[in-house]
Amino acid sequence: MQLRSFVRTLGVDPDWVDDLAQEAFLVAFREKASFDRSRDIGKWLRGIARNLVRNEIRKDARRRRILHEALAELLVSCEDQCHESAHWTEMKMPALRDCVEQLPSKSRQLVSERYGGGWLADEMAEQLRMSASAIRMGLTRIRRQLKQCIEQKAVEEGT
């Protein structure tokens, strides 16, 4: 599931992220003979995913599974070092769960409507009696808090 998130950071359309991640697994399965077992498998899969996204950029617009050509180019262009610095090898779900469930109830509600229900800020605005921009800012703040919280937990676990 880390691969899924990785695929998303390459600028793939959220609706197609699963599809592309599955494709990466399929390619990996086909090419498994060429995989050197001493290497990091996650890294190998991410390399495959990156190549798949490069192919997407070359496709014509109607069939593409990326959100925006120039953006995907920019996101995919950066070689290993910037992707690998993001600690992709850590499994963060349990930490994320603890951090999310500790959020104040209003924030928790924002997260579940946006990411569980899939509503956009603009669509949530009326029901929550907040402006769309306040919701966007709230969600951004929450993501930053969660990132901090997860990193904090990683440090605690490490010690």
Partner 1 sequence: MNDDRFEELVQRFIDDHVTESQIDELVDLCRDDEGKLSQLREHLRLADLLSQYEAELRSSQCFVDSLAQRKSAGDNADDFVARVVESAQSTSSVKQNGSDTFSSNVSPRTFGDWRWKLWLTVASIAALLMVGFVDWQSRPVATLASSENAAWESVLPTTPGSRLKPGLLQLRSGVATVQFDSGASVVLEAPAGFELVSSMKARLVSGAAIFDVPDSAIGFTVETPEGYAIDYGTRFAVQVEPEKQRSEFELIEGEIAVHHPSASDEIRLTEAGRSVSISGNELIVEDSLVDHEPVSRPTVIRVATGGRITSVLHAAKRHLKWHAHPLSREVFTAKRTDSGAFDHYSLLEFDASGVPFDEVQSVELRVNLVPSSRGLAARLPRVSRFGIYGLPKVNSTWGVAVTWENAPQPSDGVLLGTFEVPRSQQRGNFMIGGEKLLSFLRDSSHSPVTLIISRETSQLEGVGPGLTHMFASHSHPESVGPVLEFTLNHSRKILP
Among the listed residues 29, 58, 104, 129, the single contact to partner 1 using CB under 8 A: 29
The 121-140 contact track toward partner 1, x by CB under 8 A, reads: xxx---x----xx-xxx-xx
The 61-80 contact track toward partner 1, x by CB under 8 A, reads: ------xx-xx--xx--x--
Note whether 113 binds partner 1 by CB under 8 A: yes
Note whether 115 binds partner 1 by CB under 8 A: yes
Note whether 51 binds partner 1 by CB under 8 A: no
Nearer to partner 1, 32 or 58 (CB): 32
Among the listed residues 51, 59, 80, 91, the single contact to partner 1 using CB under 8 A: 91
Note whether 28 binds partner 1 by CB under 8 A: yes
Residue holding tokens 């890294």?
43
Among the listed residues 34, 41, 48, 107, the single contact to partner 1 using CB under 8 A: 41
Provide the phi-psi class of 87: left if phi over 0, else alpha when psi is between -120 and 50, else beta. Answer: left
Kindly provide the residue ranges of all beta strands, DSSP E only, lying in the chain, ordered along the sequence.
none
Q: What's the chain look like in SS3?
A: CHHHHHHHCCCECHHHHHHHHHHHHHHHHHCHHHCCCCCCHHHHHHHHHHHHHHHHHHCCHHHCCECCHHHHHHHHHCCHHHHHCCCCCCCCHHHHHHHHHCCCHHHHHHHHHHHHCCCCHHHHHHHHCCCHHHHHHHHHHHHHHHHHHHHHHHHHHHC
Q: Residues in the site for partner 1, rule: CB under 8 A?
A: 1, 4-6, 8-9, 14-18, 22, 25-26, 28-30, 32, 40-42, 67-68, 70-71, 74-75, 78, 82, 86, 89-97, 100, 109, 111-123, 127, 132-133, 135-137, 139-140, 143, 146-147, 157
